[in-house]
Amino acid sequence: MTDAAELRARTAELLAAHPPATTDRTDFLRARFDAGLAWVHYPVGLGGLAAPRSLQAVVDAGLAAAGAPDNDPRKIGIGLGMAAPTILAYGSEELKRRFLRPLWTGEEVWCQLFSEPGAGSDLAALGTRAVRDGDAWVVDGQKVWTSSAHVAGFAILIARTDPEAPKHRGITYFVCDMTDPGVEVRPLRQITGEAEFNEVFLSGVRIPDAYRLGEVGEGWRVARTTLMNERVSIGGARLPREGGMIGPVAATWRARPDLRTHDLHRRLLTLWVQAEVARLTGERLRQGLAAGQPGPEGSGTKLLFARLNQEISSLEVELMGDEGLLYGDWTMRRPDLVDFTGRDPGYRYLRSKGNSIEGGTSEVLLNIVAERVLGLPAEPRDDKDVAWKDLTR
């Protein structure tokens, strides 16, 4: 089995053959993938070495010390955190080899076509239709709240393929080429003034059956893999101490003694401790991932992430007083990533309101934690065995 010593040796070989200072960034990332050092726990030939996931830190540390470029994971988070594990679990060998390398290097950006105007929290009620036509599927419908659709080349998509089946059993999962005819992306302007989200209209889009992930009608099972990975990637990201939203508040507190009050000090200490607990919990969750796919525990970390971000940003605005009300860049832009720490407090306060919606609403995640983590009785559901076409909408 691959161990830390072997990974250090492989990292040194990569750096010797492709010196970061003189190698094109994309060429270096491609070489890293081909050397199996992209995500070491993936199979050989697909960016990994079938090594324990925990050993990724050995590679990352060696490359960072040498000044090697990374793949800008914040910009391609949907591809890395959602599309890649789903393709690995359910894609054909052809799809794995076609998509995983450019996905990891960032040459192809991904988005997620799941939510719809009438199917957000109740995602399984989605109505986008995919009808078989020979060796392809013809897709018609509308998706909404799609991050990065305006810069994405590909999307993971779920669509209704059998309206006669109950809602969870008539869904199929596809890879959609966002440049195909019939795909239209429109911006959704947010409270921040920006439009990082989009609505996507699909009109007669033809998707080859070879771009299907999983069996026909088994899309909900495939989508659950995506959703569990999504919640881990949102709520369980690796952070240093005082990483994330708590960092700017703590820095302001230290730099501006004129803003301090006893009550704010007490609240800041409470949130600092909670942020540190969340950080360590995320680390523990990632260590548990070494044993397999993420479970429902990721919903708990995402819940905590949303609540803490909102409470911390609220405290920051209160701490800053009149200055905290300022938001100096309320302009219509279409950013390709979300930057919480590189903006002013007003932006953080406004943007954090979306944290309890994106990646699964907090209300839905509370149900998941209650039922699948704590083992509490499930809420009554009287539509599980009703054909989708007969549901009240």
pLDDT per position as a tens digit, 257-291: 999 999 999 999 999 999 999 888 887 776 666 55
The DSSP secondary-structure symbol of 369 reads I
Is a pLDDT exceeding 80 seen at residue 330? no
Q: What is the mean pLDDT of residues 91-111?
A: 97
pLDDT given for residue 270 in this prediction = 97
Q: How big is the chain by its Cα radius of gyration, in Å?
A: 22
Judged by average pLDDT, the poorest of 12-21, 57-66, 118-127, 136-145 is 118-127
pLDDT at site 243: 86
Query: Residue 170: what pLDDT?
Result: 95
- What pLDDT does 31 receive? 98
Give me the mean pLDDT over the 79-92 stretch. 95
- Compute the average pLDDT of residues 215-234: 84
| Arithmetic mean of pLDDT, 89-110 | 97
Query: Span 124-131, mean pLDDT?
Result: 96
Task: Over range 62-79, report the average pLDDT.
Answer: 94
Question: Per mean pLDDT, which range of 167-171, 173-177, 307-311, 373-377 is the poorest?
Answer: 373-377
Asked if 159 contacts 131 with a C-beta cutoff of 8 angstroms, the reply is: no
Write down the pLDDT at residue 74.
Answer: 86
Choose among 206, 205, 204: nearest CA to 135.
206
Q: Is 60 exceeded by the pLDDT of residue 236?
A: no
Which pLDDT score, from 0 to 100, does residue 122 have?
Answer: 87
Q: Residue 98: CB partners within 8 Å, gap ≥ 6?
A: none
Q: What is the pLDDT of residue 291?
A: 52
Please write down the long-range contacts of 119-122, taking CB distance under 8 Å and 24 or more positions apart: 120/144, 120/145, 120/361, 121/361, 121/363, 121/364
Strands 197-208 and 154-160: what pairing? unpaired
More confident residue, 288 or 320: 320
CATH 3.40.50.80 fits 236-373, yes or no: no
Helix, strand, or coil here: 272?
helix
**Residue-by-residue DSSP string for 89-136:** HHS-HHHHHHHHHHHHHTSS-EEEE--BTTBSTTGGG---EEEEETTE
Name the more confident of 158 and 295: 158
Kindly tell me if the per-residue pLDDT of 139 is higher than 90.
yes
The percentage of the chain sitting over the pLDDT mark of 70, rounded to a whole number, equals 94
CATH (one of 1.10.3720.10, 2.40.110.10, 1.10.357.10, 3.90.1150.10) for 79-216: 2.40.110.10
The better pLDDT of the pair 295, 225 is held by 225
Q: Lowest-pLDDT range, 11-15, 53-57, 304-308, 335-339? A: 335-339
Please tell me whether residue 381 adopts helix, strand or coil conformation.
Answer: coil
How many CB atoms are located within 10 Å of the residue 386 CB? 12
Mean residue pLDDT across the chain = 90
- The Cα–Cα gap between 218 and 233 comes to 24
- State yes or no: is 93 an active-site residue: no
Q: Which entry of 116, 196, 199, 230 is annotated as an active-site residue? A: 230
Question: What is the model's pLDDT at position 262?
Answer: 93
338 — pLDDT class (breaks 50, 70, 90): confident
Mean pLDDT value of segment 372-377: 87
pLDDT band, residue 293 (cuts 50/70/90): low
DSSP state of 43: P
Closest CA to 293 of 301, 285, 284: 285
Identify the residue with better confidence: 35 or 121: 35
pLDDT of amino acid 71:
95
User: Which pLDDT band holds residue 214 (cuts at 50, 70, 90)?
Assistant: very high
pLDDT at 232: 63
Both structure tokens of 216? 């026909």
CA-nearest of 107, 89, 87, 106 to 97 is 87
Residue 344 has pLDDT above 90, yes or no: no
The model carries a pTM of: 0.88
Q: Backbone phi, then psi, for 314, in 5-degree steps? A: -65, -45
322 vs 14: which has the higher pLDDT: 14
Residue 301 has a pLDDT of: 83
pLDDT at 27 (0 to 100): 98
Cβ contacts of residue 379 below 8 Å, gap of 6+?
A: 367, 371
Q: Give the residue, 243 or 60, on which the prediction is more confident.
A: 60
What is the residue extent of each domain of the chain?
4-70, 79-216, 236-373
Q: How many helices (H) does the chain have, and how many strands (E)?
A: 12, 8
Residue 294: pLDDT band with limits 50, 70, 90: low
> What integer pLDDT is reported at residue 383 of this predicted model?
80
